[in-house]
Structure 1
Amino acid sequence: MNTQLAGTGALLRLALRRDRVMAPVWILGVAMLVLSLPGSLESVYGTAAERERLLATMTANGSLRALYGPVFGDSIGALTAWRGGVFAGLLAGVMSLVIVVRHTREEEESGRQELLSAAMVGRRAPLTAALLAALTANAAAALLVTAGLAGRGAAGALALGLGIGATGMLFAALAAIAAQLTESARLAKGLTGAFIGAAFVLRAAGDAGAPDGGSALTWISPLGWLEHVRAFAAERWWVLALFAAASAAQLVAAYALAARRDVGMSFLPARPGPARGRLGSAGALAWRLQRGALLGWSLGFLAVGVVFGGMTDGATELVGDNARTREIIERMGGQAGQAGQGVLADAFLATMAGMLAMVAALYIVSAVLRLSAEESGQRAEPLLANAVGRLRWAGGHLAVAFGGSALILLLAGLGLGIGHGEDIGGAVAATLGQLPAVWVIGALAALLYGAVPRFAVAAWAVAGAALALGWVGPALNLPQAVLDLSPFAHLPKLPGGQDPSWAPFVALTALAAALLAAALTALRRRDLAA
């Protein structure tokens, strides 16, 4: 047996056990993003004439191509690959980076890897186990996509499933390199996430300028390779070889870097701090720890807001007189059922504002759960042993989380208004109007952490369920009672033609405040790391 790989099996079993909740949620999220589409697309574009019109509109609309990519076929399977393929690949990439960094750099940062390495564990075993865990997750997602779409065409379903899984593994290999280069898990995730974002931007820029997706920028991006697999549209199997070659090259580099460093060390060490500390409060420390993530989210929301705002006119043209699409947008955004392109544009902006707010819920959960990371990493206890109370310590992180969510929604609204070129104030009001629902989810995350810290990770499931209900629920025509399980369903959709009632805003804000009070009370009464 190769001693460099000794213990790989045991570490893989440990990784799968640790991921037994997180990984299935990610896998189902990737798969359902794709499998929820065929039924809704068939109801919207059920006839050949409607699908031909869609292809013609997409060919002429650069802003929509930038978001979804070009359409290569008019079958329901091809439309599914067009509508969900790139986003499923993006989600698979994020899933892979989380898994790989969690079982490599996070283990080293916490000190657990050093303890494990003192046993019969080979030098390459931890990295190999992490990559195998990512491979297992991506293979499961690919299998679900393939099986779920097989009825639309076995070859196309296999091509799309393999493409999504291959995209996830390419970014897993990239995360493996980042884990060797950086000293912290947070920086490794940020570096890999930046590359994923750059891949999306390159693909979007290329597709916006080339109706057939043949731009050089598209071919530079792995997400561009995914769309050029052309599932359900004369599949290009050879494109999968690009994923294999790029992944293999990155894996060789990751293993070479891992062989040349000690456990806990990195090739890009952290910059030394000043000789004298400059942080005078727990709130200042929380800001210092979270400002990088907040900056990234802020820039991302501003950019996405501009893109979505610029899509508004193209989206209203795409909807046209399609009654089913108008109905979906009406359920998500409010006023589409009325006459007039201006009203339809308002409904589209309201829909985009709601979607951005649901994604902002992911930010607030990650910011709140930084408390859990500080506690489990044993960095909170030395701090609290000094003249810092628990409420002051937690309050600093919660202030950043709740204030940061308001900031990113403000910037998203500015982006929507700038991109659309009309009524910036109305766009800002639309995004900030969703803030009470975001705060409710953040307060739930705080309550889970304060009361039952072992299950704090369940806050991700709450945010994910709200996102799924808001994104997929209207398209699946779910009953309103099911949609009402999300706090976002109770807020008025802005901009709209009528003055909204203040009651839902006040009620949800009061609920968030009550949950926060309960969370801080529970945190004050329990033992740390208990």
Structure 2
Amino acid sequence: MTAGLPVLLRLALRRDRIMLPVWLYALVASVAGTAVSLRQLYPSQGSRDNLALSVNANASLRALYGPLYDTHSLGALTSWRMLAIGPVMIALLSQLLVTRHTRAEEESGRLELVAAGAVDRRAPLTAALITAGSAGLAIAAAVLALLLGLGQDAAGSLAFALVFPAVGLLFAGLTAVTAQVTQTARAANGLAGAALGAAFLLRAVGDAAGSGGPSWIGWLSPLSWAARVRPYGGDHWWALGLLLAAAGVEIAAAYLLLARRDLGGGLLPQRPGPATAGAELGRPLGLAWRLQRAALRAWAAGLIVFGFVLGGVSKGLRQLINDTPETAQILARLGGTTGAVDSYLSTCMTFLAMAVAVYAVQTVLRLREEETGGRAEPVLATAVGRLSWAGGHLLYPLLGTVVLLEAGALAMGLGTGAVLGDTGGWIGRLLAAGLVQAPAVWLFAAAGTALFGLRPQWTTGVWGLLGLLLLISFLGPTLNAGHWLLDLSPFTHVPRLPGGALHAAPLLWLSLLSGLLAAAGLLGLRRRDLG
């Protein structure tokens, strides 16, 4: 297992030298921003107690954030708020790392070349797991230092910090298993992502049920185990042990499966395709649809569920604001300008657009994957031109993002109408709110297109740009950042609907800038060598 491991581990860390610091900064900054904003919003014990009463008495708020167990310290509030999203973020990071260094390498053929040397077959998987585990420990160390610097209890801070590597290792082990049973990186990520989505849903259902319903459902989710660590509110170390034990079982299963399959193959049989290709695959647009449709459908399903849940929480938000008016202050900075519910829904639409921006970047990067994987060259060797080939793929970040925004907005309108009434009115307002987010999302896709055409070796750098601007959009308003910093994010310039005024000028400028960047990328694609 150790033959070749040090070299592969150094290689993995070198390849991730940009991505890992960005994720580390994002997670630690999220914890810091959450702590600062909560200290401003709930400075007194009375306001914190009112918050706990409102959250624990409202099923929709428990589904979104989980129950609030303790209010006697800033650390307790911070851990409650971050354990709703932090474990999901570290789980995503772990999944990406393991897939990137195992199944993706195997799919590209590079792992076969590596295995031809003096390298143990288990070394690549071991290097990927160590990389994921090291990332979790680095985040834990930074979070622990931050909380101790804020004067929080050492035991509670340690318990909270250790949740990150424990959850990360568990989902790293899960992804290691999916990488053995599938033959493509996309399929491995898809299975692991579906498991993460199911875990989030089970956690939400279990927390919403509370003591008066089937709360046992939450125990089926490892994300619920993470919340039951209860930092600063009991410090249940056994819950951390449960996470680590499950991770150990998954990792052991991954090694067993690795020993029972051929290199390049998977345990799940591949479905044979038709003997002859359909007529639509003879055109660039048809080929692009065949390659992009699975991702579009999966994103649409996830955003529909996400939008409906966010809309359903709106009634609980009104109660929360009535009981704790401090919450309205931060919502006014994040969202619209008229009414607490409008502010909340405007904020939700911004978060929805941020998620769609990830899809937009993902679809643009498919062009680079096709090029580096050697699949673009046979297509372009025919009568298909470069612009036609690229245009077929770019149709999805252009129109597919609109479909996703409207699907999420429609679901949000249905959820809001179900709890507040006037379903038709809410649907119409939120569909408009989703549509105005499209130019901001297009800008990220255009930036990726420009890098792909002009500097293809830098194409993946668009992830760093996306992460930085999303971090500004997410944390900037809660930290009262200056306008010069907030203006760097395209989402700052989008009209705050529902509730705000509709201004066409920023939408036109964002669309024009996106068009110029995309045109520059396509022009560069025509002039450069492939590969």
The answer as to whether partners of 2:180 and 2:257 remain within 8 angstroms in 1 is yes
Query: Which amino acid is 1:283 matched to?
Result: L
**Residue 456 in structure 1 maps to residue 459 in structure 2:** yes
Aligned to 2:267: 267
Tell me which moved more, 64-73 or 151-160: 151-160
Paired residues for 1:110-259 under 5 Å: 110-150=108-148, 151-210=151-210, 215-259=215-259
What displacement does 1:438 show? 0.4
- Give CA deviations for 1:389-408 in whole Å, capped at 9, x if unaligned: 11011101100222111111
Partners of 2:98 and 2:188 lie apart in 1 by 10
The answer as to whether partners of 1:139 and 1:165 remain within 8 angstroms in 2 is yes
- Give CA deviations for 1:327-356 in whole Å, capped at 9, x if unaligned: 3212221215xxxxxx22111111111111
Aligned to 1:286: 288
The answer as to whether partners of 1:5 and 1:123 remain within 8 angstroms in 2 is no
Paired residues for 1:12-411 under 5 Å: 12-74=9-71, 75-150=73-148, 151-210=151-210, 215-278=215-278, 279-320=281-322, 324-336=326-338, 343-411=339-407
**Residue 479 in structure 1 maps to residue 479 in structure 2:** no
Q: Which runs of 5+ in 2 are unaligned?
A: 418-422
Query: Which amino acid is 1:301 matched to?
Result: L
Partners of 1:214 and 1:137 lie apart in 2 by 35
What displacement does 1:33 show? 2.0
- Give CA deviations for 1:332-385 in whole Å, capped at 9, x if unaligned: 21215xxxxxx2211111111111111211110011111111111111112111
Partners of 1:322 and 1:476 lie apart in 2 by 19
Partners of 2:159 and 2:213 lie apart in 1 by 18
Partners of 1:453 and 1:153 lie apart in 2 by 48
Query: Which amino acid is 1:464 matched to?
Result: G
CA RMSD of aligned residues (A): 1.5
Query: Residue 238 of structure 1: SS of its match in structure 2?
Result: helix
Query: Residue 408 of structure 1: SS of its match in structure 2?
Result: helix
Query: Residue 85 of structure 2: SS of its match in structure 1?
Result: helix
Aligned to 1:339: none
Partners of 1:496 and 1:243 lie apart in 2 by 43
Query: Residue 36 of structure 1: SS of its match in structure 2?
Result: helix
What displacement does 1:325 show? 2.9
Query: Which amino acid is 1:25 matched to?
Result: V
The answer as to whether partners of 1:146 and 1:158 remain within 8 angstroms in 2 is yes
What displacement does 1:443 show? 0.5
**What number of residue pairs does the alignment pair up?**
519
Tell me which moved more, 510-519 or 389-398: 510-519
Partners of 1:213 and 1:249 lie apart in 2 by 30
The answer as to whether partners of 1:65 and 1:211 remain within 8 angstroms in 2 is no
User: Residues 477 and 321 from structure 1, CA distance in 2 versus in 1: closer, same or farther, beyond 3 angstroms?
Assistant: farther
Query: Which amino acid is 1:353 matched to?
Result: M
Query: Residue 282 of structure 2: SS of its match in structure 1?
Result: coil
What displacement does 1:173 show? 0.2
User: Residues 242 and 214 from structure 1, CA distance in 2 versus in 1: closer, same or farther, beyond 3 angstroms?
Assistant: farther
Query: Residue 131 of structure 2: SS of its match in structure 1?
Result: helix
Query: Which amino acid is 1:314 matched to?
Result: G
Partners of 1:119 and 1:93 lie apart in 2 by 32
Aligned to 1:515: 517
Tell me which moved more, 504-513 or 425-434: 504-513
- Give CA deviations for 1:115-137 in whole Å, capped at 9, x if unaligned: 00000001211111111111111
What displacement does 1:324 show? 4.7
Partners of 2:357 and 2:113 lie apart in 1 by 36
The answer as to whether partners of 2:336 and 2:500 remain within 8 angstroms in 1 is no
Query: Residue 86 of structure 1: SS of its match in structure 2?
Result: coil
Aligned to 2:420: none
- Give CA deviations for 1:383-437 in whole Å, capped at 9, x if unaligned: 1111111101110110022211111100011011100003211011111111110
What displacement does 1:32 show? 2.1
The answer as to whether partners of 1:69 and 1:213 remain within 8 angstroms in 2 is no
Aligned to 1:340: none
Partners of 1:497 and 1:467 lie apart in 2 by 21
Partners of 1:393 and 1:15 lie apart in 2 by 32
The answer as to whether partners of 1:166 and 1:240 remain within 8 angstroms in 2 is yes
Query: Which amino acid is 1:134 matched to?
Result: A
- Give CA deviations for 1:39-62 in whole Å, capped at 9, x if unaligned: 110000000000000000001111
Tell me which moved more, 177-186 or 146-155: 146-155
Partners of 1:213 and 1:137 lie apart in 2 by 37
Query: Residue 171 of structure 2: SS of its match in structure 1?
Result: helix
The answer as to whether partners of 1:391 and 1:520 remain within 8 angstroms in 2 is yes
What displacement does 1:201 show? 0.3
What displacement does 1:270 show? 2.0
Query: Residue 320 of structure 1: SS of its match in structure 2?
Result: helix
Partners of 2:75 and 2:97 lie apart in 1 by 30
Query: Residue 152 of structure 1: SS of its match in structure 2?
Result: coil
What displacement does 1:30 show? 2.2
Tell me which moved more, 23-32 or 4-13: 23-32
The answer as to whether partners of 1:359 and 1:467 remain within 8 angstroms in 2 is no
Percent identity over the alignment? 48
Tell me which moved more, 243-252 or 39-48: 243-252
The answer as to whether partners of 1:31 and 1:88 remain within 8 angstroms in 2 is no
- Give CA deviations for 1:432-460 in whole Å, capped at 9, x if unaligned: 11111001111111111111111111111
Query: Residue 496 of structure 1: SS of its match in structure 2?
Result: coil
Aligned to 1:488: 491
- Give CA deviations for 1:3-31 in whole Å, capped at 9, x if unaligned: x4311111111111111111221222222
**Residue 446 in structure 1 maps to residue 449 in structure 2:** yes
Partners of 1:216 and 1:35 lie apart in 2 by 32
Partners of 2:488 and 2:292 lie apart in 1 by 30
The answer as to whether partners of 1:70 and 1:211 remain within 8 angstroms in 2 is no
Per the normalisation by structure 1, the TM-score is: 0.96
Query: Which amino acid is 1:270 matched to?
Result: Q
Partners of 1:459 and 1:147 lie apart in 2 by 30
